[in-house]
Amino acid sequence: MAYHSTTLRSKKNKLTLEELHLNNDVRAKINQLLEEFTYKDALDKLDIPVDNKILLHGHTGCGKTATAHAIGLALNKKVITINLSGFVSSKLGETAKNLAEIFKEATIDNAIIFIDEFDFIGKLRDYDEKDSGEMKRLVNALIQQIDHLDDDTLLICATNHIHIIDSAILRRFQIKLHYELPTQQALDDYYDSILLKYPSNINKVVRTYGISYAEAKDLALQQIKANAIQYEKQKKHLLFVHQDLKPTDDKLIKTADSLSGYKLHRLSVQNSKSSENDACDEKFITVKSTDKNDKIEGFVIELTGEELSEMDKLKIHDCTRVLATTNLGTEVWVYTYNKLV
Cα 204 from chain centroid (whole Å): 22
66 and 209, same domain (yes or no): no
Do the Cβ atoms of 14 and 74 come closer than 8 Å? no
Residues 86 and 213 in one domain: no
77 and 140 fall within a common domain: yes
Same domain, yes or no, for 221 and 249? no
Same domain? For 150 and 264 the reply is no
Q: In terms of pLDDT, which residue wins out, 319 or 72?
A: 72
Percent of the chain with pLDDT over 90: 53
- Res. 126 pLDDT band, cuts 50 70 90: low
Q: Model confidence at 270, in pLDDT bands (50, 70, 90)?
A: low
Count CA within 13 A, CB hemisphere, residue 119: 12
Q: Does one domain contain both 152 and 220?
A: no
Domain count, the chain: 3
| pLDDT at residue 214 tops 60 | yes
With a CB cutoff of 8 Å and minimum separation 6, the contacts of 227 are 201, 202, 203, 204, 205
- Same-domain check for residues 173 and 217: no
Query: 155 and 218, same structural domain?
Result: no
Residue ranges making up the domain that contains 190: 185-234
Residues 87 and 214 in one domain: no
In this predicted model, what pLDDT tens digit does every residue of 57-85 receive, in sequence order?
Answer: 998 888 999 999 999 999 999 999 988 76
| Among 199, 215, 234, residue at a domain's last position | 234
Q: Quick one: pLDDT at residue 225?
A: 96
CATH number, position 32:
3.40.50.300
Predicted confidence (pLDDT) at residue 277 exceeds the cutoff of 60: no
Whether 18 shows a pLDDT value over 70: the answer reads yes
Count the Cβ atoms, other than its own, within 10 Å of residue 229: 13
- 83 and 160 fall within a common domain: yes
**Quick one: pLDDT at residue 4?**
39
Same domain, 229 and 245: no
Q: Pick the residue with more confidence: 121 or 271?
A: 121
More confident residue, 118 or 249: 118
Q: Are residues 94 and 153 in the same domain?
A: yes
